[in-house]
Structure 1
Amino acid sequence: MRKGLVVGVATLALLLGLVPSALAASPATFGVPTATSTYGEGIDFGQAVVVDVPVGRTELLLTVADAIGPEVVEVSDRPRPGATTLSYTLDTSGPAHLIPNTRITAQWRLFSADDPTKFALGPALTVVYEDDRFAWQTVSGELARVHWYKGDAAFGAKALRLAEDAIRETADLLGVIETESVDFFVYAHPDDFYGALGPGAHENVAGTAYASIRTLLGLIPPGEIDDPLVAVRIPHEFVHLVFDTASSNPYHRPPRWLNEGLAVYQSEGYAGPDRGAVKNAARSGSLIPLDGLTGQFPNGRDFFLAYSESVAAVDFIVRTYGPNALVTLIRSYADGRTDDEAFTDALGLDMTTFGSAWFADVGATEPTKDGPRPAPRGPVPAAWEGTGGLISTPAPGAANPGPSARPSSDASTANDASPAREGPDWLIPLALLIGVAIVVGVILGRRRRASAGGPA
């Protein structure tokens, strides 16, 4: 017992010796960190510090939203001993666009130039990247906060009511409890809205949910708050956030069609326009297989068809397997299951088979799959027919049963088919030994001649 304890302590000490330490001879003393963001440009991070020893490496650790760990950014500053201020700007312009309301936690780290195992870690600072283009009004409820810059208090109150009703209804359906409030930013003009979404956004999107930062961005002009479409659009996006709560896992996301299908099903049901779109696509042969809707939806006319198909597939689940099966399917993803594992456990068939069953339910014919195919079988010699093209290879010294790979009842035929033997098995080793002896003899003879002809 004592021996095992000693070995364990020694091993722990060895491992600790390999890890950079901040306990002794810290190379710096930190002041109060700062962070200032300007929307569309960047976030400026600063850190007052008194450096005690030469610094060999400066790092800024940035943890975005709910990431499992920080991104390590090496900063070019190598401050000399004394008081100074470290600085770094995180670019958020153009392709580096950052969604508003994203939380970033920053922490500076300095390594000693003399001993890289010694470092100093500064205090953590969390900053929220705000869309500062507008003067936002805010109203809060138990489950959501609504932010808007155009419209009166009644506008914000109605948006909040629609949001919280959608959260409660979907949470009750999926059996989850929402404990973290959701921020809903309402934009009044398309240019403002797409400026928040950033480059590459779909041009026909009116709302987007970002589950990792518990944020929803929506486009609702003030005069349209009473439009029936708004009563659909707001709940639709909030369903996505509850869906994430029920299915989130560190491995992969559920199929996109399942997420969007539930959002449409909850906010408006499987209505006439969607039914018509699916029926027409099934009749014309243009229905998209569900395995083509697991990720980003297509652009163009198929964009809306993708939503219609998604809610049709969810409706099929509810009609065929029951609402509890739908809930089980969605929640099983939280256990890290693959698509096939989740569908098999909840519905009794894998996702591909489910897609085929849904195609049959809507009266569609599955399209021929294009792509790589096995190479066609080449010509087979007549003697190989019936063997599947496989010929057995005899062991050394064993008789070859011939191309048919079947033993023959005629001993003479078997002998004819056997490979010619080249002699006894000992001939090859003997030849090798003779060759080695000749080489050794030649080398020794040369050495003797060299010794005889040398100086006396």
Structure 2
Amino acid sequence: MSKRGPRPKRAPVCVGTALRAALALVVALLLALPPRTARADLPSEAAPYGETAHFVYFGSDEVTSAVHKVMTVAEERFGRVCAALGACDTLGGKIDVWIAEDPEQFAAAFPDGAPMAEWAAGVAFIGARRVVLRAHGTALFSLLETFDHEVAHVLINAVAGGRHVPRWLTEGLAIWVSGEDVIARLSAAHQAAITGNLLTLDELDAGFPNRGSRVPLAYAQSALFTRHLIGRGGPGALVTVLRRIGAGEPFDAAFTERFGAPADELAADWVATLEEETSPFLLLHDSSLLWFAMTLVFVAVGLRLSREKKAAFARMDAEDAAAEARAEAARAFAELEAQRHSGEPPTLH
């Protein structure tokens, strides 16, 4: 195992603003619960709806259309996900897919005592090869994207032989293979880089946040750092790490052998790059700075309108003066014409 030097002291976590909290809530709707390992019996009223090569599907009459939607594309999506993870030959049996119509059905598919987050779109019980999905997804996280994400968790566990894989890596890979949009996560991570709020890899692994403003940050870091590693070593690099773990090698050794440096060292370099590349525009994600910028815009617009109004008044005054001069000249000319026709000599002033 490689020696690790002392980490620099991290800045305290900043209190989230109202805007950041709203972003946290929206992004949280996209995220799935941490994988569980205990297997639970299906609710007593559940019966298999059907099955395909790698899946058995469960759901009530209310979710028939959702189950059919998943069944139609499940094998195609499974092929794409398992190929990306090098896991097409690792699954030891079929994956149970339970689709729930409402929160009650969603909770009923969980083991006794297993917590359920209201915002969760899906959950994977990896040891049991079972995923539970909300039939309607969320506003920004569709049913099929949730399906890909949770299936990825099951496959990652299979490739690693059930051995421990850091949480940031499992989430990062699940996001990557399911094609989830990382724009919101990118914004959150850039903002955190500005304020010094980024979590260490050890923190992400030991206590991955499941509530509050740190949730979107944790997923942002996991997704973006994983994408950074894939860009550095190619799509197969992390799969190689997973396979080494499956063969019994500790993560640190497997990672360092494949990437040439420990994960936390590469993460520190990546964070430094984030801080260097952060655009000042992204500061506007902070609500106080956003209001300040909006105030500057309103002031600038007000000054411009004031100048335009003064210029318009000046033009109107000039036009009135010119019109008065023309009227005066017309009156003088009329007077001269009247005098000429009457035979009176004109009076010069």
Q: Same fold (TM over 0.5)?
A: yes
Residues 1:238 and 2:170 are matched in the alignment: no
Q: Is the 8 A contact 1:167 1:242 kept in 2?
A: no
Greater share of helix residues, 1 or 2? 2
Residues 1:201 and 2:116 are matched in the alignment: yes
**1:21: which partner in 2?**
none
Percent identity of paired positions between Structure 1 and Structure 2: 24
3-state SS in 2 of match to 1:183: strand
Q: Which runs of 5+ in 2 are unaligned?
A: 1-35, 278-349
Q: Is the 8 A contact 2:63 2:135 kept in 1?
A: no
Q: Which amino acid aligns with 2:128?
A: I
Displacement of 1:153 after TM fit? 4.1
Displacement of 1:347 after TM fit? 0.6
Displacement of 1:165 after TM fit? 3.0
**1:211: which partner in 2?**
126
Higher-RCO chain (CA-CA 8 Å, sequence separation at least 6): 2
1:292-371 alignment runs, 5 A limit: 292-298=203-209, 299-363=211-275
3-state SS in 2 of match to 1:218: strand
For the aligned residue pairs, the C-alpha RMSD in angstroms reads 2.7
**1:76: which partner in 2?**
none
Q: Is the 8 A contact 2:42 2:109 kept in 1?
A: no
Q: Is the 8 A contact 1:207 1:217 kept in 2?
A: yes
Residues 1:189 and 2:111 are matched in the alignment: no
Q: Is the 8 A contact 1:166 1:238 kept in 2?
A: no
Count residues in correspondence: 237
Of 271, 276, 284, the match for 2:195: 284
Q: Which amino acid aligns with 1:163?
A: A
**1:273: which partner in 2?**
184
Q: Which amino acid aligns with 1:339?
A: F
Alpha-carbon distance between aligned partners in 1 of 2:264 and 2:203, rounded to the nearest angstrom: 11
Alpha-carbon distance between aligned partners in 2 of 1:100 and 1:324, rounded to the nearest angstrom: 30
Displacement of 1:269 after TM fit? 4.5
Displacement of 1:225 after TM fit? 9.7
3-state SS in 2 of match to 1:184: strand
Larger Rg: 1
1:102-181 alignment runs, 5 A limit: 102=40, 129-132=41-44, 134-151=45-62, 153-176=64-87, 177=89, 178-181=91-94
Q: Is the 8 A contact 1:137 1:149 kept in 2?
A: no
3-state SS in 2 of match to 1:293: helix
Alpha-carbon distance between aligned partners in 1 of 2:244 and 2:201, rounded to the nearest angstrom: 19
TM-score by length of 1: 0.48
Q: Which amino acid aligns with 1:259?
A: T
Displacement of 1:99 after TM fit? 8.7
Q: Deviations over 1:209-234 (max 9, x none)?
A: 1121111112224xx69986222111
**2:315: which partner in 1?**
none
Q: Is the 8 A contact 1:146 1:156 kept in 2?
A: yes
Q: Which amino acid aligns with 1:201?
A: M
Q: Is the 8 A contact 1:184 1:215 kept in 2?
A: yes
Q: 1:99 to 1:319 in 2, by over 3 A?
A: closer
3-state SS in 1 of match to 2:176: helix
Alpha-carbon distance between aligned partners in 1 of 2:37 and 2:100, rounded to the nearest angstrom: 14
3-state SS in 2 of match to 1:305: helix
Q: 1:352 to 1:271 in 2, by over 3 A?
A: closer
Alpha-carbon distance between aligned partners in 1 of 2:138 and 2:185, rounded to the nearest angstrom: 24
Displacement of 1:150 after TM fit? 3.9
Q: Is the 8 A contact 1:287 1:364 kept in 2?
A: no
Q: Is the 8 A contact 1:186 1:220 kept in 2?
A: yes
Q: Deviations over 1:362-396 (max 9, x none)?
A: 2279xxxxxxxxxxxxxxxxxxxxxxxxxxxxxxx
Q: Deviations over 1:48-76 (max 9, x none)?
A: xxxxxxxxxxxxxxxxxxxxxxxxxxxxx
Q: Deviations over 1:64-103 (max 9, x none)?
A: xxxxxxxxxxxxxxxxxxxxxxxxxxxxxxxxxx99964x
Displacement of 1:148 after TM fit? 0.8
Displacement of 1:304 after TM fit? 2.0
Alpha-carbon distance between aligned partners in 2 of 1:341 and 1:256, rounded to the nearest angstrom: 17
Displacement of 1:317 after TM fit? 0.5
Alpha-carbon distance between aligned partners in 1 of 2:229 and 2:37, rounded to the nearest angstrom: 34
Alpha-carbon distance between aligned partners in 2 of 1:153 and 1:326, rounded to the nearest angstrom: 37
Greater share of strand residues, 1 or 2? 1
Alpha-carbon distance between aligned partners in 2 of 1:208 and 1:296, rounded to the nearest angstrom: 18
1:397-408 alignment runs, 5 A limit: none
Q: Which runs of 5+ in 1 are unaligned?
A: 1-97, 103-128, 366-456
Q: Is the 8 A contact 1:265 1:311 kept in 2?
A: yes
Alpha-carbon distance between aligned partners in 2 of 1:318 and 1:347, rounded to the nearest angstrom: 10
3-state SS in 1 of match to 2:197: coil
Q: Which amino acid aligns with 1:307?
A: Y
Q: Deviations over 1:161-214 (max 9, x none)?
A: 443333211221232313511001111111332343334333422211112111
Q: Which amino acid aligns with 2:84?
A: L
Displacement of 1:334 after TM fit? 0.5
3-state SS in 2 of match to 1:362: helix
Q: Which deviates more from structure 2 when the two are superposed, residues 265-274 or residues 329-338?
A: 265-274
Q: 1:162 to 1:273 in 2, by over 3 A?
A: farther
Q: Which deviates more from structure 2 when the two are superposed, residues 169-178 or residues 282-291?
A: 169-178
3-state SS in 2 of match to 1:316: helix
TM-score by length of 2: 0.61
